[in-house]
Amino acid sequence: NAGVTQTPKFQVLKTGQSMTLQCAQDMNHNSMYWYRQDPGMGLRLIYYSASEGTTDKGEVPNGYNVSRLNKREFSLRLESAAPSQTSVYFCASSEAENYEQYFGPGTRLTVT
């Protein structure tokens, strides 16, 4: 079992560029989440998907969109990157909504 995988691991974007962060889990979990973590801070929820076919906004959704492609995959898209989106992005999944969450290794994104 690979658990939760994320691609890419690192990315540098210029302001205004777009990109999609990919996430997949092989634990047959229903719920998936995208968080961002800024230096010295906790994780803030961007979007989540309680089950296949549903997505909902979290605490900081502005500037992002998501797609729950199937039960395994949950992608995060930045349509027009801004320097304020420089952060580490973590994808997570859980069997029950918000119970024990399993995190991917993260994507370190820099927007210049």
Write the CA distances from 105 to 8, 12, 14, 22, 88, integer angstroms. Answer: 10, 17, 23, 12, 10
**Closest separation between CB of residue 14 and other proteins, Å?**
25
Nearer to other proteins, 17 or 44 (CB): 44
CA 93 to chain CA centroid, nearest Å: 10
- Omega of the bond prior to 83 within 30 degrees of 0, cis? no
Binding mask 74-93 for other proteins (x = CB under 8 A): ----------------x---
Q: Residue 61, interface with other proteins (CB under 8 A)?
A: no
**Closest separation between CB of residue 4 and other proteins, Å?**
8
- State both tokens at 80: 């027009």
CA 107 to chain CA centroid, nearest Å: 9
Q: Which of 98, 109, 110, 112 binds other proteins (CB under 8 A)?
A: 98
Binding site for other proteins (CB under 8 A): 33, 40-45, 48, 50, 56, 58-59, 90, 97-106
